[in-house]
Amino acid sequence: MVEWTAAERHAIVGLWGKMNVDELGPLAIQRLLIVYPWTQRYFTSFGDVSSPAAIRGNAKVGNHGKVVMGGLDRAIKNMDNIKGVYKDLSVMHSEKLHVDPDNFRVGALLSDCITVVVAEKFGPHVFTPEVQEAWQKFLNVVTSALSRQYH
């Protein structure tokens, strides 16, 4: 069971409250596909994702960014039971989407792209070291929950 300090809850919920998921979601996914091009393998049904220009112009990619960041909302609203709330999503990512869970982790790929985009948006006075710590802990818990049902 994850323990959250009051400061961590405050930091995470506070940051989330300021975030525009429709703005940051597309930016995070575009960054993922450009910075780690091998992740394009998961988006072959989205049309052309072969170049930065194509990625930026692809509406399906942008929309998927909104879906992914929107998924974090469920975690924010259920911080004491992220594992339970994400069970079905985990099964889906394993059985249907076949996404290597290493792609989600903090210290890798999507989590890091989300963090970079959030840092860009909020700057050093909002995204302080303590807030970054809480945020990365939150992403760690989310990605652990997403990886849990793989077998």
For residue 116, the minimal CB distance to other proteins (Å) is 4
Is there a contact between 91 and 85 (Cβ–Cβ < 8 Å)?
Answer: no
Kindly report the number of other CB atoms within 10 A of residue 128's CB atom. Answer: 13
Q: Cα(34)–Cα(43) distance, rounded to whole angstroms? A: 13
Structure-token pair, residue 95: 């059985």
Identity at 90, one-letter amino acid code: S
Q: Which of 2, 34, 85, 91 binds other proteins (CB under 8 A)?
A: 34
Count the residues of the shown chain that bind other proteins, applying the rule CB under 8 A.
23
Q: CB under 8 A: which stretch of 12-20, 41-49, 79-87, 109-117 binds other proteins? A: 109-117
The reply to whether 54 sits near other proteins by the rule CB under 8 A is: no
Does 40 participate in binding other proteins (rule CB under 8 A)? no
For residue 71, CA distances in Å to 60, 96, 132 come to 16, 17, 20
Identify each DSSP E strand in the chain by its residue range.
none
Compose the 64-103 pattern: x for residues touching other proteins by CB under 8 A, - for all others. Answer: ----------------------------------------
Segment interacting with other proteins, rule: CB under 8 A, options 7-15, 16-24, 59-67, 116-124: 116-124
Residue 13: how many other CB atoms lie within 10 Å:
15
Token pair of 131 as six digits = 């807030």
Residues that bind other proteins (CB under 8 A): 30-31, 34-36, 52, 107, 112, 115-117, 119-124, 127, 129-130, 132-133, 136
